[in-house]
């Protein structure tokens, strides 16, 4: 198989695709895309399938923290070298490539920024297959493997390394440490053996993102939304106007919220429950789709995705339901990303017709 590269012409599709996989979360990708464009400076990054890598280990990298903070204080270069060095030092492993911790949103782009910085190829796989808010929601954790040793750090030399901690403990410690890093930090996790990637990771995430991005780029003003949705492999939940957005400020965890969309045609009411991502959809009170499947809200005319942070009353939108990564539908994995993992007391709802 010929080696694939990701170059500047692919960035637009990459940004669109990772945004869709964000399910309304994962952060605004436009800034990250500009950053990547500048980092590449006309160059390109190898995007390897797991089969292309003969052996050895790959290191999961990305950022953790508030994406808004990331946008305000962009990487200045040199964020990933210290955390990668820490992991290499700790494990004695020299990586054959990088793997994204999260393909949805900003992290789907940041992995390439890190690859430029570190001079390593990127594997066409990730640990989430979409956007998810927590470290313990990594595929590696779902199959019972440790995330540690992990390291977070920044270009200024601040560094935190954790080892022999459960994913939940790592999540708690990292989350509470982030303020000391200015809201976000570069992260590197325990290296993964290449031969186990098909068990530990979600393969083909970037192929999917680039495919979605290409189809999405073809979404024109005059296109029939149904055909456009079908080309994305999605189904339309509703086409209508956002009539109410409620954000509940939770005492703990991330803020929850609800978006209510009224169908223009027959007054059908669609309610989306959201945290960092859109998590659950109800049509006229009947639950019809939920995490781990992907829910997107797009501007009805431009087709541009509208994130949970920016959705506002009055917007004319199309809400889409995309199948989530099959990995998360595995019985041993599904509980980690099911609605109950987000405090929504309901079983996950498989896509109709799916098994």
Partner 1 sequence: MTDAPPTLRELIGHPHLAATPLSGDDDLDRSVTGITLIDPADTGLVQAGEIAVCPVIPAGYLSSWRLDATIRRLYDQRAAALAVPLEGPGGETLLDGSRRLARHLHLPILGISGAPLRWAGTAAAFVHSPAVDAADHLRRAHRALTPRLLSPQDVARALTGILDRPVAVLGPDGTPITVSFELPSGFDPHAPVAQILTTDGHTTVAVPVPGTPSGTADLWMAAALGPAPSAWARAVRDVLQFATLAVQRWQATRRVVLERDARLRAGLFGDLLEGRLDSGGTAHQRAAEIGWRLDGWHVAFHIAALGQVDLLGHTDAVAAAIAAEQIDVTVVERGDGWSAWTTSRAEPDEDISRDLLASLQRIRRRLAGRFDCAIGVGRGHPDTGGLTRSLAEAWDAARLARGRPQTGRLVHIDRLGLAQLLVAWASTETFAPTATRLLAPLESQPGDLVATLSTYLDAGGSAADTAAILGVHRNTVAARLHRIEELLTVDLNNPDDRLALHLACRVTLDRNTGY
Q: Running DSSP on this structure, what letter comes out for residue 330?
A: S
Which residues are registered as beta bridge partners of 98? 59, 122
Residue 251 Cα distances to 65, 248, 324, angstroms: 18, 9, 29
**Residue from 271, 322, 334, 337 in contact with partner 1 (CB under 8 A):** 271
Structure tokens at 49: 């399938």
**Residue from 224, 248, 252, 312 in contact with partner 1 (CB under 8 A):** 248
Site membership for partner 1, residue 244 (CB under 8 A): yes
**Residue from 56, 183, 287, 350 in contact with partner 1 (CB under 8 A):** 287
Contact 142, 168 (CB under 8 A): no
Site mask, partner 1, residues 311-350, x = CB under 8 A?
Answer: ---------------------------------xxx----
**Residue from 218, 246, 304, 354 in contact with partner 1 (CB under 8 A):** 246
Q: Running DSSP on this structure, what letter comes out for residue 337?
A: H
Site membership for partner 1, residue 243 (CB under 8 A): yes
**Residue from 224, 227, 286, 332 in contact with partner 1 (CB under 8 A):** 286
- Point out which span in 4-12, 82-90, 117-125, 283-291 binds partner 1 (CB under 8 A): 283-291
Contact 220, 231 (CB under 8 A): no
Q: How far apart are the first and last CA of the chain?
A: 32
The angle subtended at Cα 290 by Cα 287 and Cα 291, nearest 5°, is 165
Q: Which is nearer to partner 1, 267 or 314 (CB)?
A: 267
**Residue from 178, 188, 189, 280 in contact with partner 1 (CB under 8 A):** 280
How many residues of this chain interact with partner 1, rule: CB under 8 A? 21
- Tokens 């990594």 correspond to 138
3-state DSSP assignment of residue 87: helix
- Point out which span in 37-45, 148-156, 259-267, 315-323 binds partner 1 (CB under 8 A): 259-267
The H helix count followed by the E strand count for the chain is 11, 17
How far is residue 325's CA from residue 292's CA, in Å, rounded to a whole number? 7
Least distance (Å) from partner 1 to the CB of residue 287? Answer: 6
Binding-site ranges for partner 1 (CB under 8 A): 243-244, 246, 248, 258, 260, 262, 267-269, 271, 273, 280, 282, 284-287, 344-346
């Amino acid at each position: 198989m010929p080696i694939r590269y990701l170059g500047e012409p692919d960035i637009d599709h990459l940004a669109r695709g990772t945004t869709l996989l964000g399910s309304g979360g994962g952060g605004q990708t436009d800034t990250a895309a500009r950053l990547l464009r500048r980092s590449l400076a006309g160059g390109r990054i190898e995007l390897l399938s797991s089969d292309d890598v003969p052996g050895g280990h790959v290191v999961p990298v990305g950022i953790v923290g508030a994406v808004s903070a990331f946008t305000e204080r962009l990487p200045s270069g040199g964020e990933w070298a210290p955390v990668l060095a820490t992991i290499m030092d700790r494990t004695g492993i020299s990586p054959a490539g990088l793997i994204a911790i999260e393909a949805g949103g900003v992290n789907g782009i940041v992995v390439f920024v890190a690859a430029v910085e570190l001079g390593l190829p990127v594997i066409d796989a990730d640990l989430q297959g979409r956007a998810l808010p927590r470290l313990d929601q990594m595929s590696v954790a779902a199959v019972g493997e440790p995330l540690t040793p992990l390291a977070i750090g920044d270009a200024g030399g601040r560094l935190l390394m954790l080892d022999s901690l459960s994913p939940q403990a790592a999540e708690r410690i990292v989350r509470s440490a982030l303020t000391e890093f200015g809201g976000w930090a570069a992260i590197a996790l325990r290296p993964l053996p290449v031969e186990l990637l098909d068990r530990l990771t979600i393969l083909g995430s970037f192929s999917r993102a680039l495919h979605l991005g290409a189809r999405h780029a073809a979404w024109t003003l005059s296109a029939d939304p149904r055909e456009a949705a079908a080309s994305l492999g999605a189904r339309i939940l509703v086409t209508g106007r956002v009539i109410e957005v409620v954000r509940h400020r939770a005492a703990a965890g991330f803020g929850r919220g609800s978006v209510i969309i009224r169908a223009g045609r027959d007054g059908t009411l669609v309610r989306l429950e959201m945290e960092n991502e859109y998590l659950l959809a109800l049509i006229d009170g009947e639950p019809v789709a939920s995490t781990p499947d992907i829910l997107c809200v797009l501007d009805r005319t431009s087709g541009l995705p509208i994130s949970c942070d920016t959705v506002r009353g009055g917007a004319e939108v199309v809400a889409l339901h995309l199948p989530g990564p099959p990995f998360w539908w595995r019985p041993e994995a599904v509980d980690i990303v099911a609605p109950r993992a987000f405090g929504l007391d309901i079983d996950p709802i498989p896509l109709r017709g799916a098994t």
